[in-house]
C-alpha cells in the first residue's frame, strides 16, 4: 500500500475514494492536480524520521547544521494533579487571529466540578496589529481593565496567565523573548524583547488593577494543561488552529539549554518551521510554493503553511482558481473574489466537506463568490477540499508520530500509553481531520496507544491551569523547604558537632563521664609491610561465620575461607555447645586445608558488644543479633574459646587477638597504606577507631607508643549534646527503635535508620498535601518499607526520573513525576546530613591526631567499610568534602577496605606477632 487517499485510507493508485463520489470521466488535469496532494507511506515515514532527528539535535543544543525545529523549554515542570484551585485572570493573544481574549477562570480542585469561565473577546484594530509594540500592549492593558471593571474584584491582587501564541525564547516561566511574529502580526519594537515585561509595563501605565503575571504560556502548552483529568496522564499538546504546533513533557536532563538533571519540563517544538531547510521538498506542490511566495514570510513556516487553518482555505482557493483557468471548473470562468487571497476561510472548507450538507454549502458559498457551478463542479470542489485537508492531517500525524516515538524510546517502554490533548479550530470544525490523524498515527506508531482528548479551552482554562500549577508548586516548595531545612546543616553547625565530639573524646580517654566510651583495643601498631606468615582468622557476627587462612607474603595477602552456619539451637543453647561447635568448624577447615598438627596464630573478630581488657581478652557485655547462648555474658570470650580448644585435645590453636570489625578495617587498609591510622564503618551501624597516644589513655599502663581506640561513636550524643540537630522525625525513629534514647549519632547516620527517617518525612509531607495528592497510603504506614538501599538507588546519577518512579511504584507507592522529584530531594537531604555528620566526626578524629603530634599539617589515611559508604553514590564524596572544610590542615585519603573482619583480624594477629618478636629480641 503506497499512498494515502484524500479521506485517509491507504490506497493504491487509481483506487476509489471512499466517502466521496468519483467524477465519471473527470479530466486528467483534475487527477494530475490532486495527485500532487497524495503522500505515500514512505514519504510520511521519512518526515517522521526527519522531524525526530531535528528534535533530538535541537534538544542536544547542536547548532550546526541549524535544527529545523527549536525545542523551546516552556518552564512548565508539572502537569495538573486535579487539586488546583483559585481564581485566575488569563490574557490570550495570538490564538484567535486578530483579536485578544480576557478570561476569568475559577478552578475548584474538585473532580467533575467545573465553573464556566467568564470571557470577553476584543478585536485588535489593523493599525495596532502593524503598529508599534507599545501600542499593542497598551491596548491589551486597556482590555484587561475594561473586563475587570465588570467584576467584583476590588483591590485584591490577581494572578495572571499570559497566553502568547508566537515563537518565543523562554528563559523562565515568566520570562519570554519574542523570536518572530507570525499569523499576520507585525508590531515593531517587540521582537527580541521580553513580552512579559512589556505587558507588566503596560499594566503599570494603566494603573487600574494589581496584576501579577505569573506565567507566559503558548496556546499549545495551554492545550495540554487544559486537558480533562483522565485515566492516562496527558503529556502531549497538539494545536491545529490558525497555525500549528505541539508540545510534550520531556525529561529535563535531555534538554541541553536547561542544564538540569532531574525532573520534567514541557518543550514547545515550534514545528511550524519544520521544512524551512527543504526537508518537505518531495511533498510540496506548486500551490504550496505559490502560497508561500504570496505570504508575509516567504520561505518560513513551511510546515505550518501545509497544515494551519490560516492556509488551508487559501490552498483550496489556489487549486480551484487553477482548475477554473484550465477550463475544468465553473465553465472556465473565474471571479474577482476567487482570485482574491483570503476569499476561502477554514470554516468554508469545513462546511463544504460536511458529509450531508456539504454539497449544498458548496453551491451557496461559490455563488456568493460570483461563480456559476456546472453539474459536477460541487463534487470536484469537495474533492479538492478533501485532498488538501487529508494531506494536512497526514502530515500532522507524521509529526505527532515523531513525538510519540521520542517519548516511547526515551522512556524505554514497549508500549507507550498516553493522552494527547487536541485544540484549535481545525479539530473543532473539520469533520474528518481527527479521524484521518488517528488512523495515520496508528499506522506510523503502532507501538503507541494514544487517547485523543479535546482540550477544554486550552487558551483560557489551560493557561489558568499553568498559573495554578505554578502556584501549587511554589506553595509545595515552601512547605518542602521548611520540612527539610533542619537537615541542611551549615558549616557552623558542623563545626559545633566537631568540637563536641572532640570534647567527648578527651573526657572518654580520661575515664570521665562521656557519651564516647573510647575503649582501648590493645592494638599498639598498624602494619609496616614487614609482616609475613600464615594466620587463621575467625569472623563471628551472625548466624553464619567464617574461618579464614590468610597468607601474608612479599607479593601481598592471599585468603582462603569457608562459611559455616550456626544452627538456631546452638546459638540459643549453652555457651559450651556454641564454642565447641566453633572449634569443630575450625578443625574441619584445618583438615580441608592440610593444616593438621600446625599451631597457627589466630585472630578472632567478635562483632558483639565487648569490654576489652587486653589484646586477647574481651568480656561479652550482652548478646545481640539473635544469639542467646547461656553462661557467656560477663565472660571472657577468648577464654571460652580456649577452653573449647582444650576439650579437643588433639588440636593446637594460638588465639592471639580479639578484634573489633572497625579495627580490622583500619588494619586491612593499613597493610596497603602505612599512613592509615583511622578506621571507619558506615553500614547498618557506624563506628570509628584511631591510633591515640598511649599517654592519653587512662587505665592503661605506659607513657610511650600508641594504642588503637575503639570510639563506639554510635552512642555520641546520648547525653543530649545532639539535641539541637535532632528533628521530630529523628525522635519518631528513636522512639520506635529497640533502644530509645541510645545510639543517637548512629540513628542519624547509619543504614539501619535512614530509610525510616525518609518514611516519616514522606508521611508528614503527605499530611500537608505536598505528596501523593494528600492521600495517605497504607503501604507508607508500614515500618521499614523504605530500605536504605533505595536511597542509594534513587540518588544514583545514572537513573532517569522514570526509573526513580519505577522503584517507588515497586514499593506500592503510586506517584507522579512531581512526587518522585520530592522523594528524591528528601532522600538527598537525609543522606547528605548523615554524610556531613560522619565527616564532622572524622574531622574531629584527624584533628586530634594532628594536635597530639604537634604537627602543622597531617597526612593520614582512613580505612572505610560498610554498605552505605560503598554503595551510596554520593556519601563518600560528601564525607570527604566535609572533612576538608572542617580540618583544612589535614590531608585525608579515604581507602575502601576489603574484608576488614577477616583479613583485618589476621593482620592484627600478624602485627602482634611481629611486635612480640621485637620484644623478645
Of the candidates 571, 596, 592, the residue with the CA atom closest to the CA atom of residue 582: 571
What is the C-alpha separation between 589 and 587, in angstroms, rounded?
Answer: 5
What is the C-alpha separation between 761 and 730, in angstroms, rounded?
Answer: 10
Cα 812-815-819 angle, rounded to 5 deg = 125
Q: How does pLDDT run across 745-794, given as a tens digit for each residue?
A: 999 999 889 999 999 999 999 999 898 888 888 888 888 888 888 888 88
Rg (CA), the chain: 38
User: Which residues are CB-contacts of 121 (< 8 A; sequence separation ≥ 6)?
Assistant: 96, 99, 100, 101
Sheet bearing 890-896, strands edge to edge: 519-520, 706-710, 686-693, 676-682, 858-865, 890-896
Q: Which of 607, 668, 792, 876 is catalytic?
A: 607
**Would strands 234-240 and 416-423 be described as parallel, antiparallel, or unpaired?**
parallel
> DSSP string of 498-520?
HHHHHHHHHHHHHT-S-S---EE
Cα–chain center distance at 771: 15
Determine which helix (DSSP H) or strand (DSSP E) holds 28, and give its type and residue range: helix 28-35
> DSSP string of 558-608?
EEEEEEEE--HHHHTSBHHHHHHHHHHHHHHHHHHTT-TT---EEEEEE-S
The counts of H helices and E strands in the chain are 29, 29
**pTM for the predicted model, two decimal places:** 0.77
What is the C-alpha separation between 672 and 299, in angstroms, rounded?
Answer: 70
What is the C-alpha separation between 176 and 195, in angstroms, rounded?
Answer: 6
448: left (phi over 0), alpha (psi -120 to 50) or beta: beta
Q: Which three cell numbers stand for residue 415?
A: 508500549
588 is catalytic: no
The SS3 of residue 762 is helix
534 is catalytic: no
Output the pLDDT for position 16: 32
Output the pLDDT for position 811: 75
**Residue entry with cell 473532580:** 111
Residue 882 contacts residue 843 (beta carbons within 8 Å): yes
**Would strands 556-565 and 544-553 be described as parallel, antiparallel, or unpaired?**
antiparallel
User: Which residues are CB-contacts of 372 (< 8 A; sequence separation ≥ 6)?
Assistant: 330, 331, 333
**Residue entry with cell 568480656:** 619
Q: Which parts of the chain sit beneath pLDDT 50?
A: 1-2, 4-25, 921
What are the angstrom distances between the C-alpha of 204 and each of 53, 174, 201, 207, 396? 44, 16, 5, 5, 41
Cα 905-908-912 angle, rounded to 5 deg = 140
Q: Which of 546, 744, 805, 833 is catalytic?
A: 546
What is the C-alpha separation between 559 and 900, in angstroms, rounded?
Answer: 12
What are the angstrom distances between the C-alpha of 345 and each of 260, 379, 399, 591, 888? 44, 19, 24, 97, 75
Cα 517-519-521 angle, rounded to 5 deg = 165
Of the candidates 650, 642, 610, 684, the residue with the CA atom closest to the CA atom of residue 867: 684
Q: Which of 194, 539, 661, 899 is catalytic?
A: 661
What is the C-alpha separation between 568 and 574, in angstroms, rounded?
Answer: 11
Of the candidates 852, 863, 846, 845, the residue with the CA atom closest to the CA atom of residue 673: 863
The SS3 of residue 741 is coil
Output the pLDDT for position 723: 92
Residue 708 contacts residue 663 (beta carbons within 8 Å): yes
What is the C-alpha separation between 271 and 71, in angstroms, rounded?
Answer: 8
Output the pLDDT for position 19: 34
User: Which residues are CB-contacts of 773 (< 8 A; sequence separation ≥ 6)?
Assistant: 81, 82, 83
Of the candidates 639, 680, 646, the residue with the CA atom closest to the CA atom of residue 662: 680
Residue 908 contacts residue 657 (beta carbons within 8 Å): yes
User: Which residues are CB-contacts of 454 (< 8 A; sequence separation ≥ 6)?
Assistant: 421, 422, 423, 427, 428
The SS3 of residue 889 is coil
What are the angstrom distances between the C-alpha of 540 and each of 250, 566, 582? 52, 10, 9
Determine which helix (DSSP H) or strand (DSSP E) holds 547, and give its type and residue range: strand 544-553
Bridge partners (DSSP) of residue 864 are 680, 896
**Angle at which helices 801-810 and 817-852 cross, to 10°:** 90
Residue 604 contacts residue 655 (beta carbons within 8 Å): yes
Output the pLDDT for position 231: 65
Bridge partners (DSSP) of residue 118 are 104
Number of Cβ atoms within 10 Å of the Cβ of 336: 9
- What does DSSP assign to residue 459? I
759 is catalytic: no
Amino acid at each position: 500500500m503506497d499512498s494515502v487517499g484524500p479521506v485517509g485510507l491507504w490506497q493504491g493508485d487509481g483506487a476509489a475514494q471512499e466517502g466521496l463520489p468519483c467524477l465519471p470521466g473527470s479530466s486528467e488535469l483534475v487527477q494530475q492536480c490532486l495527485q500532487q496532494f497524495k503522500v505515500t507511506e514512505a514519504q510520511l515515514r521519512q518526515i517522521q524520521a526527519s522531524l525526530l532527528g531535528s528534535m533530538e539535535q535541537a534538544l542536544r543544543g547542536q547548532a550546526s547544521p541549524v535544527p529545523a525545529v527549536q525545542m523551546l523549554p516552556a518552564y512548565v515542570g508539572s502537569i495538573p494533579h486535579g487539586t488546583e484551585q483559585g481564581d485566575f485572570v488569563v490574557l490570550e493573544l495570538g490564538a484567535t487571529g486578530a483579536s485578544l481574549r480576557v478570561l476569568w477562570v475559577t478552578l475548584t480542585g474538585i473532580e467533575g466540578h467545573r465553573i464556566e469561565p467568564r470571557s470577553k473577546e476584543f478585536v485588535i484594530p489593523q493599525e495596532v496589529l502593524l503598529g508599534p509594540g507599545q501600542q499593542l500592549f497598551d491596548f491589551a492593558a486597556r482590555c484587561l481593565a475594561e473586563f475587570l471593571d465588570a467584576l467584583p474584584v476590588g483591590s485584591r491582587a490577581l494572578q495572571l496567565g499570559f497566553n502568547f501564541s508566537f515563537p518565543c525564547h523562554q528563559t523562565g516561566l515568566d520570562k519570554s523573548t519574542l523570536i518572530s511574529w507570525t499569523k499576520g502580526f507585525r508590531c515593531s519594537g517587540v521582537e527580541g524583547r521580553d513580552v512579559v515585561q512589556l505587558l507588566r509595563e503596560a499594566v503599570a501605565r494603566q494603573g487600574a488593577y494589581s496584576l501579577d503575571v505569573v506565567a507566559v504560556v503558548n496556546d499549545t502548552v495551554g492545550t495540554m494543561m487544559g486537558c480533562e483529568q483522565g485515566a492516562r496522564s496527558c503529556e502531549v499538546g497538539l494545536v491545529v488552529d490558525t497555525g500549528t504546533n505541539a508540545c510534550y513533557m520531556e525529561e529535563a536532563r535531555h534538554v541541553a539549554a536547561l542544564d538540569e538533571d532531574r525532573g520534567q519540563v514541557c518543550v514547545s517544538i515550534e514545528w511550524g518551521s519544520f521544512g524551512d531547510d527543504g526537508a518537505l521538498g518531495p511533498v510540496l506542490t506548486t500551490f504550496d510554493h505559490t502560497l508561500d511566495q504570496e505570504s508575509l514570510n516567504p520561505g518560513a513556516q513551511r510546515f505550518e503553511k501545509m497544515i494551519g487553518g490560516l492556509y488551508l482555505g487559501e490552498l483550496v482557493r489556489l487549486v480551484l482558481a487553477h482548475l477554473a483557468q484550465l477550463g475544468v471548473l465553473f465553465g472556465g470562468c473565474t471571479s474577482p473574489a476567487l482570485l482574491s487571497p483570503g476569499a476561502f476561510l477554514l470554516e468554508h472548507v469545513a462546511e463544504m466537506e460536511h458529509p450531508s450538507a456539504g454539497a449544498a454549502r458548496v453551491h451557496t458559498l461559490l455563488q456568493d463568490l460570483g461563480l456559476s457551478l456546472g453539474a459536477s463542479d460541487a463534487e470536484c470542489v469537495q474533492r479538492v477540499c478533501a485532498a488538501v485537508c487529508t494531506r494536512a492531517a497526514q502530515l500532522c500525524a507524521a509529526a505527532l508520530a515523531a513525538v510519540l516515538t521520542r517519548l516511547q524510546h526515551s522512556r524505554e517502554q514497549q508500549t507507550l500509553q498516553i493522552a494527547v490533548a487536541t485544540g484549535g479550530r481545525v479539530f473543532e470544525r473539520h469533520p474528518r481531520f481527527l479521524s484521518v490523524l488517528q488512523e495515520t498515527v496508528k499506522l506510523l506508531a503502532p507501538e503507541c496507544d494514544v487517547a485523543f482528548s479535546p482540550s477544554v479551552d486550552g487558551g483560557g482554562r489551560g493557561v489558568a491551569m499553568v498559573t495554578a500549577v505554578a502556584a501549587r508548586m511554589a506553595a509545595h516548595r515552601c512547605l518542602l523547604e521548611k520540612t527539610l531545612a533542619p537537615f541542611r546543616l551549615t558549616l557552623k553547625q558542623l563545626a559545633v558537632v566537631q568540637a563536641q565530639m572532640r570534647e567527648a573524646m578527651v573526657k572518654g580517654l580520661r575515664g570521665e563521664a562521656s557519651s564516647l566510651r573510647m575503649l582501648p583495643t590493645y592494638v599498639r601498631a598498624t602494619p609496616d609491610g614487614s609482616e609475613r606468615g600464615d594466620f587463621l582468622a575467625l569472623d563471628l557476627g551472625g548466624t553464619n561465620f567464617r574461618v579464614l587462612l590468610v597468607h601474608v607474603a612479599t607479593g601481598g595477602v592471599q585468603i582462603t575461607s569457608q562459611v559455616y552456619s550456626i544452627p538456631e539451637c546452638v546459638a540459643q543453647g549453652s555457651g559450651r555447645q556454641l564454642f565447641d561447635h566453633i572449634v569443630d568448624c575450625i578443625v574441619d577447615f584445618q583438615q580441608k586445608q592440610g593444616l593438621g598438627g600446625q599451631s597457627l596464630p589466630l585472630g578472632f573478630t567478635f562483632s558483639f558488644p565487648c569490654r576489652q581488657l587486653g589484646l586477647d581478652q574481651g568480656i561479652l557485655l550482652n548478646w545481640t543479633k539473635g544469639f542467646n547462648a547461656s553462661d557467656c555474658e560477663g565472660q571472657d570470650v577468648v577464654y571460652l574459646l580456649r577452653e573449647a580448644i582444650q576439650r579437643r585435645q588433639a588440636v593446637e590453636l594460638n588465639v592471639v587477638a580479639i578484634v573489633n570489625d572497625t579495627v580490622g578495617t583500619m588494619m586491612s587498609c593499613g597493610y596497603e597504606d602505612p599512613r592509615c591510622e583511622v578506621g571507619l564503618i558506615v553500614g547498618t551501624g557506624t563506628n570509628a577507631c584511631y591510633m591515640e597516644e598511649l599517654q592519653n589513655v587512662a587505665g592503661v599502663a605506659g607513657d610511650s607508643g600508641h594504642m588503637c581506640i575503639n570510639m563506639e561513636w554510635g552512642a555520641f550524643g546520648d547525653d543530649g549534646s545532639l539535641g539541637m540537630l535532632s528533628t521530630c522525625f529523628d525522635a519518631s525513629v528513636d522512639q520506635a527503635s529497640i533502644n530509645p534514647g541510645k545510639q543517637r549519632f548512629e540513628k542519624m547516620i547509619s543504614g539501619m535508620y535512614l530509610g525510616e527517617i525518609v518514611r516519616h518525612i514522606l508521611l508528614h509531607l503527605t499530611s500537608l498535601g505536598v505528596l501523593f495528592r494528600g492521600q495517605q497510603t497504607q503501604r507508607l504506614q508500614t515500618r521499614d518499607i523504605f530500605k536504605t538501599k533505595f536511597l542509594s538507588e534513587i540518588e544514583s546519577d545514572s537513573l532517569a526520573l522514570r526509573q526513580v518512579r519505577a522503584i517507588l511504584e515497586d514499593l506500592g507507592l503510586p506517584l507522579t513525576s512531581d512526587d518522585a522529584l520530592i522523594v528524591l530531594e528528601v532522600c538527598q537531604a537525609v543522606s547528605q546530613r548523615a554524610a556531613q555528620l560522619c565527616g564532622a566526626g572524622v574531622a574531629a578524629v584527624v584533628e586530634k591526631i594532628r594536635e597530639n603530634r604537634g604537627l602543622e599539617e597531617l597526612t593520614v589515611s582512613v580505612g572505610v567499610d560498610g554498605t552505605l559508604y560503598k554503595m551510596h553514590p554520593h556519601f563518600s564524596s560528601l564525607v570527604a568534602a566535609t572533612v576538608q572544610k572542617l580540618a583544612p590542615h589535614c590531608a585525608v585519603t579515604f581507602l575502601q577496605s576489603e574484608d576488614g573482619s577477616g583479613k583485618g583480624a589476621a593482620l592484627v594477629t600478624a602485627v602482634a606477632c611481629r611486635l612480640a618478636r621485637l620484644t623478645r629480641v
